[in-house]
Structure 1
Amino acid sequence: MKTAIMTDTNSSITRSTAEKLGIYVIHMPVIIEETTFYENDTITEEEFFCALSGNKRITTSQPSPGDVMDLWDQILAEGYEELVYIPMSSGLSNSCAAAIGYSQDYDGKVEVVDNHRISVTMYESVLHAREMSLNGASAKEIKAALESDAYNSSIYITVNTLEYLKKGGRITPAAALIGTVLSIKPILTIQGEKLDSFAKARGSMKRAEEKMILAIQSDLEKRFADQDMAKLHIGAAGAGLTPEQQEEWLALLLNKFPEADVFYSPLSASISVHTGPGAVGIGISFR
């Protein structure tokens, strides 16, 4: 490839996966009690959820300018003519806008994609970029293709507890208390920008999962009716799920969408810190 592909860990792509794909990944900072760790690098998924469940004070941040540009310099020094950087959605973080600013010093050799995606749909964008690069596309062509396709995706997430939405200020303590008493599971959505409320399910997580599946089916019938269903990719996601829970969620989606390419990928720390452990999600995109 003459054009390198780089993303961040909000795509759920780990270092080992990146090495297999021949791409690059920058690890997002996770701050726990004033100590900075790097997702899937200096802190494991298990350690992150242990801290999250242990009521540690946790925040996430964008990568430092030095870390981003050092990796860009390393990539270009390895012989690539240019590179494409795919960070998380500009609607969810300032990291994309910041990277666009840094790229001005690279004489057109660095293209930053504002793809308006995160998690499983962002993962698919990275694979799309890699395919285009392998086929000889330039950085500008890859950026244009990904940005034109940005909103042909959809994500729904439901949480197992309201505690973390309360901590993040997304719901009031009173609403969290009432919701817990009534056993309400909120369903959240990302349609290219921010994490927004979509619906509520009363009772078990199973009911919330059923509502998310119905929402995806509705999107496929209405919003994406003109898309080629042969290119449909469905990502099952979860926050700190056990292997058994992952298999169960994946199997359910495989059964509901037998025509699609269905895969599992964990939710990133940037999302999980707001949803808490036990959250499950589903995302669709076309490639």
Structure 2
Amino acid sequence: MTDSTASLDPVDAEREGITVVPLKLVIGASTFTEGVDATSDDVASALKEFVPVSTSRPTPDEFGAVYERLAAEGFDAVVSVHLSAEISGTFDSAQLAAREATIPVMCVDSRQVGIATGFAAGRAARVVREGGDEAAAVGAALAAGESSTVLMYVDTLEYLRRGGRVGAAAALIGSALAVKPLLTLRDGMVEPLERVRTTSKAVARLEVLTVQAAEKAQDGFDIGVQHLANPELAQQVADRLAASLGREQVPVNEVGAVIGAHVGPGMLAVTVTPR
């Protein structure tokens, strides 16, 4: 299992045998379910129009209902892989529900966000498919999260500041110097990595750092580009990375609505997960 912030395509999730629990969004006065009736475009439009947007985790009861459904379907155990507990209470909800489940549930804090969490869940699913037990699946998910490199460009730190995902001082410095911040994940938290003066320089630096991360992966790697309302630039970056890394293509998708609510329009991110 994972949650909707993992950015898994429904077809891929079904193929891998991964159950996805959705998070919620509140846009204005209306509540929506990620992946059901709320899209990234909805969030981007709301943010651009200064409509209040907030997010909420699944409740323990919602997780518990899914665990019991899986038990009823005949599963012996569940490995539940989620976004960083430093960023969201989703992992805590999963743990609370796991204590009451009628089958063993092992909750994994990926310490990551977005497709890095998706890659971690995918590694766990692959271990199970190849005959590994739940402990091996947990180990694979933890290793994937720990070794992943997430590099993110945002137009402004304001949206992350509003949600409490970076300190107010970092947002103030970014605004005052008119810089284009590059961010990363360290110890499960979003942290500033570098400050660059222009978008073009920030994107060029992101590409350099991505290639460096990929070159360190001696046994190969998974890679993905994500964006919010920035498809043209995302595709350009993916094409250049594919050429640099000797790949036919690098997958591109729009980040989920929940993460999008915290990073804002224009966000561009690359994830590299060694195999």
TM-score by length of 1: 0.85
RMSD: 2.4
Whole-Å separation in 2 of the counterparts to 1:107 and 1:162: 43
The change in CA–CA distance for 1:162 and 1:286 in structure 2 (over 3 A counts) is closer
1:256 equivalenced with 2:237 (yes/no):
no
Aligned residue type for 2:202:
A
| Residue 179 of structure 1: aligned partner | 177
The change in CA–CA distance for 1:132 and 1:186 in structure 2 (over 3 A counts) is same
Report how many residues are paired. 272
Match of 1:232 among 211, 218, 221: 221
1:208 equivalenced with 2:185 (yes/no):
no
1:271 equivalenced with 2:259 (yes/no):
yes
Gapped runs of 5+ residues in structure 2? none
- Residue 166 of structure 1: how far off its partner (Å): 5.0
| Residue 271 of structure 2: aligned partner | 283
Task: Say if 2:144 and 2:273, in contact at 8 Å, map to a contact too.
Answer: no
The change in CA–CA distance for 1:85 and 1:260 in structure 2 (over 3 A counts) is farther
Whole-Å separation in 1 of the counterparts to 2:173 and 2:119: 35
Aligned residue type for 2:183:
L
* Stretch of structure 1 that moved more, 255-264 or 24-33: 255-264
Aligned residue type for 1:238:
H
| Residue 3 of structure 2: aligned partner | 8
Gapped runs of 5+ residues in structure 1? 1-5
Whole-Å separation in 1 of the counterparts to 2:121 and 2:253: 14
- Residue 35 of structure 1: how far off its partner (Å): 2.5
Whole-Å separation in 1 of the counterparts to 2:157 and 2:101: 44
Identity of aligned residues (%): 22
TM-score by length of 2: 0.88
1:61 equivalenced with 2:49 (yes/no):
no
Whole-Å separation in 1 of the counterparts to 2:88 and 2:151: 19
1:73-131 Cα distance to aligned partner (Å, 9 max, x none):
11221222222111111222222133123212235521111221221211211221121
Whole-Å separation in 1 of the counterparts to 2:24 and 2:79: 21
The change in CA–CA distance for 1:163 and 1:146 in structure 2 (over 3 A counts) is closer
Match of 2:86 among 88, 91, 107: 91
Task: Say if 2:211 and 2:245, in contact at 8 Å, map to a contact too.
Answer: no
Match of 2:230 among 223, 226, 241: 241
The change in CA–CA distance for 1:206 and 1:198 in structure 2 (over 3 A counts) is same
* Stretch of structure 1 that moved more, 267-276 or 6-15: 267-276
Task: Say if 1:110 and 1:139, in contact at 8 Å, map to a contact too.
Answer: no
Match of 2:114 among 115, 119, 127: 119
Whole-Å separation in 2 of the counterparts to 1:247 and 1:148: 29
- Residue 18 of structure 1: how far off its partner (Å): 2.3
1:44 equivalenced with 2:32 (yes/no):
no
The change in CA–CA distance for 1:107 and 1:78 in structure 2 (over 3 A counts) is closer
